Structure formats: C-alpha cells, structure tokens
Amino acid sequence: MNLNHYLRPIQHSETLLINERSASLAQTRPIHRFGFGQSPFPVPDALQAALREHAGEKAYLPVQGLPALRQAVAQFHRTQDGVDWQPERTLIGPGSKLLIFAVMAAFTRAEVLLISPSWVSYEPQAHLAGHPVHRLQTTAADHWRLSAAQLDAFCRSRTNPDVPLILVLNYPGNPSGTSYSADELGALAEVMRAHGVLVISDEIYGMLHHKGEHRSLAQWYPEGTLVTGGLSKWCGAGGWRLGVMHVPAALEDSLLPRLFGVASETWSCVAAPIQHAAIKAYEYGPDIQAFVQHQRTLLQEIGNTAADRLNKAGIDTAAPEGGFYLFPDFGRFRTQLAQRGINGSDTLCAALLEEAGVALLPGTAFGMLEEELVARLAYVNFDGKNPEPVYQGIQAIVDWVAKILE
C-alpha cells in the first residue's frame, strides 16, 4: 500500500530543524547559531530547588491542572496584566504550543487567520486541525504589526462570515520582536468585537517586554480573547513544557469543556513535579522579579545594539520591544544578491550559513513570500551573561554584506 496518498503534508518544525542542523555543522566549523529561539538564561535556583523537592510526586493530576497552580497563575496574571484571570477558567498544558493547538482541534469547522510574519507552528497546527488558513501581510514600515484597517477589510471580505474566525495574535512578536501599543490594541479590539473574531493571544513573551510595559489584549476584548503563556521564555524553562491558558467567561460553557476533552484524550496532565515547582515561579517572589528584570535589561541592550549595527550596514531592522528576536530585511541589496543567484529568503539563509557561518531562519518559515529577503535572528547564542558571541555573529553578517558590495 502506498501511504503517501493518505499522509498529511506536515514537515519537521523549522525552528527545531535549524537547531539540529546548526549543532551538526558546529562540530566541524564555527557557527553563529541565530536560528533557534531558546532562552539563554538558567532556570532560577529557587525553581530548581522546588523541582528537586517535588521530584517524588508521581500521581496523575487533574486534567485542568493542579488547583494550587491554577490559583497562583490566575493571581499572577491579574497582578501583572490587570486582567480578570480566574482559576476555574485556567488550563495548564505541556507548553503553550499544545494549548494553542487544542483550541483549533476543538472546532469541527473554522477558519484561521494569521499574520505574515508569524511563528512557524501556527499554520501547520491549523492544517492538522483541518482548518483553512488566511494570511494578512504586514510590512517593515509598520514594524510587522497588523492594523485595525487591515483586519476590518479582511473580515468584511469573508464569503462565509458565519464560520468561526480564529485569529492568532502573538506579541511581543516571534519573529519580529516588536509589540503593540495600547491604542493599537484598542483599535484592533473594536474590529474584533464588531466581527465576532475569536482571538488566541499568544503572550508567551509578555513578561520579557523590555520595558515591562506589556498589555494583554484581554484588557480591551475580554469576551473573545483566549490568552496563552507559560514558563519557557521568562523563566528560561523551555524544556519543562509548562504552558497556561485563560478562557473568557463568555466561552466557559461552550469552549472550555471541549478543551478539557482534548486535554484528557491527548496529554492527560502536565508532569506532576513540574506543576508543583511552577507554583514557585508564579508566586513571583523578589528573587524571581529580579531575575526577570535582569533579562529585560540585558535583552534590550543586546537587541538594540544588534539592530543598530545591522541598520548602519544597510540591513533594515526594527528595534526589538520584547523577547529576543530581530527580523532583518536585506532588500536594499536585492540587485547585488540577485547577481549571486540569491533571489529569496531561502537562498539568502543558505548563503549566509555556507559563506558566513551564520544560521538564520528564512522568512518563508514565517509565512513570508519567497522573494522577500527577510530572515529571523534569535540573539540568544550566549550564556545569559556575556553577549560577545551575539556581536561576533552580527559582525559576520555585516562583513558578508560588505563583501557583496565590493
């Protein structure tokens, strides 16, 4: 039997794949590994101690999550984001990635709206759930932000507005590093409300807003916003796989039971020791607060310095507002790159890896058109203390561009 006709066209995640490729190449030559977005900061000592303390916890926990953890998570987000998180509408999952997929899987029919650029896994997840995907292209001039006018125009143009529309909005953004102002979120919320858009607000980088000024969309559109977050970025605990989601009161009776169903039939519960240890993180004591502030300060310094050096070299790069990503645009050099057979982001990143030893992810991985000369740069290839490896990699890019212009 030829199974190829029956298998879904789902490929290896681009972000995980570039990490594996970079690790392999680094065994034979120096590689500046800007491809994989993993926090460089160690898990705080207090959380490590809490994990050791609860290492013997082995029981299956409630599908929704440990009650004490849900209470801590809800209180944390009420305080940090000024939104009405309630423990009975909070769901704990093995990373926000699977929580986002659970929402899509809960619908038998829906349309998913994504922004270009946006994180690599949203579109494959939508296809796995059987939903068509629409994209709205943003621009470097708008710092890769969706405008209310764009969203309104799309919603008005829909041929079947009765089918639920799920918009995934991620900010501070991966891959852009940029975010939204209060006025922009308010304007978007008016359009979302007018058209009944269901929003998954992926705020996993919210705590790493460089100025500590993240604002949740749920402040402006509480009835239609599902907020996701977790420990992977602000606690440096990606491998712990603990994500959180809050479901609005308006969807408590309809969507929330379906999410419990998806969870119970897939992951059952997040590992017990991890959930117990996570309570310490969400209690957000002085030591954790100082840890987060240290990250914000250092990431802002590195990101702004890297963006400034790229801009001075003619590589248009928006200064980051949160997280640890840049989305440089090499479009100014289109003519010179084309003369070397580089006509899009895939060939651009291949050349940078081969000739400069710099690993970036092409814009196509984030929903950009192939001809756009953009790439994601994750400035996390350092030990959480000394940023020099980042600056060395930036210099390698600058030197490579200079050679092209010779």
What CATH fold (topology level) applies to the domain 46-284?
Aspartate Aminotransferase; domain 2 (3.40.640)
Q: Identify the pLDDT of residue 406.
A: 84
Its pTM stands at: 0.93
Do the Cβ atoms of 23 and 9 come closer than 8 Å?
Answer: no
27 pLDDT tier (thresholds 50, 70, 90): low
Q: Identify the pLDDT of residue 328.
A: 98
What CATH fold (topology level) applies to the domain 11-40+288-404?
Aspartate Aminotransferase, domain 1 (3.90.1150)
The Cα–Cα gap between 215 and 194 comes to 21
29 pLDDT tier (thresholds 50, 70, 90): confident
CB atoms within 10 A of CB 52: 11
Q: Which of 293, 174, 274, 177 is nearest to 234 (CA)?
A: 293
The Cα–Cα gap between 375 and 50 comes to 39
The overall average pLDDT reported for the chain is 94
Mean predicted confidence (pLDDT) in 91-108? 98
Do the Cβ atoms of 113 and 136 come closer than 8 Å?
Answer: yes
Cis check: omega of the bond before 161, within 30 degrees of 0: no
Domains of the chain, by residue range, sit at 11-40+288-404, 46-284
Do the Cβ atoms of 170 and 214 come closer than 8 Å?
Answer: no
Q: Identify the pLDDT of residue 14.
A: 56
- Type and span of the H or E element at 155: helix 148-157
Q: Which tops the pLDDT comparison, 24 or 336?
A: 336
Q: Identify the pLDDT of residue 37.
A: 87
- Kindly report, residue by residue over 296-317, the tens digit of the pLDDT: 999 999 999 999 999 999 999 9
- Kindly report, residue by residue over 351-386, the tens digit of the pLDDT: 999 999 999 999 999 999 999 999 999 999 999 999
**46-284 has the same fold as 11-40+288-404:** no
